[in-house]
Amino acid sequence: MSDISRRDFLKLASSAVLTAAGLLGLAGLFRFLDAQTEPSPQTDFDLGSPEKYSIGSRTVLPDVPALLVRSQAGFSALSLVCTHLGCTVQSQSDGFACPCHGSRFDLQGNVTRGPAGKSLEPLRTGITSDGNIHLYTN
């Protein structure tokens, strides 16, 4: 085994440490460049095949939140965000009730009890080229 000179040892050690620092620095740089801003709220919801929803069905979509209605005339949707302060209303047999401040809405989303002053917002739906039904909240 050959002896390593003091000069070579220092050179090797410096190179090793600099390489490690460089790799760590690069990792940090990639992480910085790859940082994502908070995503914008989703406004387009793919609800899958229309066949999943039978005619006459009323499906609560908690992730939106919205109610998807399929009638003989087609699809329609209603936002389940209370028009008073934005709580999520709960679907009941005779309409919707807001658990926060007690507003009530009929099955069509019209206000039957305050403090909400406006009806639940109708949402746009459509069938896209992939054949799926989509719901739009904007």
Partner 1 sequence: MRRYFLLLASFALLLALLLAAWYQSVHPKPVALIPTLTGQVEYCLTCHSDLAQISNSHPVQTFGCVLCHGGEPLALDANLAHSTMRGGSNPSDFSVVQASCGGANCHSGTPESYSNHIQRATTSIQATYAGAIANILFTFGVQPDLTARLGIYAVQDPGSTSGITSLAAFDPASETNPYVKAFGQNCLTCHLSAHPLSGSVYFRFTGCAACHTPTQSADRTGTQQLQSSQIHKLTTAISYTQCDTCHNRGNYDLRAITFAPRQDLPGDRLHDYYQPIAQFTSCEWMLDCVDCHTRTEAMGDGSLYSSKLDIQYIQCKTCHGTPTELPQTRTLTDPNDLAFRLALLNPVVDLKLGDTILVTDKNEPLWNTRLLPDGTYQLVGKANGQVFPFKPVMGSACTQNGIDQTSAYCHTCHSVIR
Binding site for partner 1 (CB under 8 A): 7, 10-11, 13-14, 17-18, 20-21, 24-25, 28, 38, 41, 81, 85-88, 99-102, 104, 112-115
Q: Which is nearer to partner 1, 7 or 130 (CB)?
A: 7
* Shortest distance (Å) from residue 111 CB to partner 1: 10
Smallest distance from the beta carbon of 92 to partner 1, in angstroms? 14
The phi-psi region of residue 130 (left if phi > 0; otherwise alpha if psi is between -120 and 50; otherwise beta) is: alpha
Hey, how many other C-beta atoms are within 10 angstroms of the C-beta on 68?
22
Residues 6+ apart with CB under 8 A from 42: 137
For 45, residues 6+ apart whose C-beta sits below 8 A from its C-beta are 61, 63, 64, 66, 134, 135, 136, 137
Residue 12 or 131 having the CB closest to partner 1 = 12
Min separation Cβ 31 and partner 1, Å: 8
Q: Please say which residue, 68 or 81, places its beta carbon nearer to partner 1.
A: 81
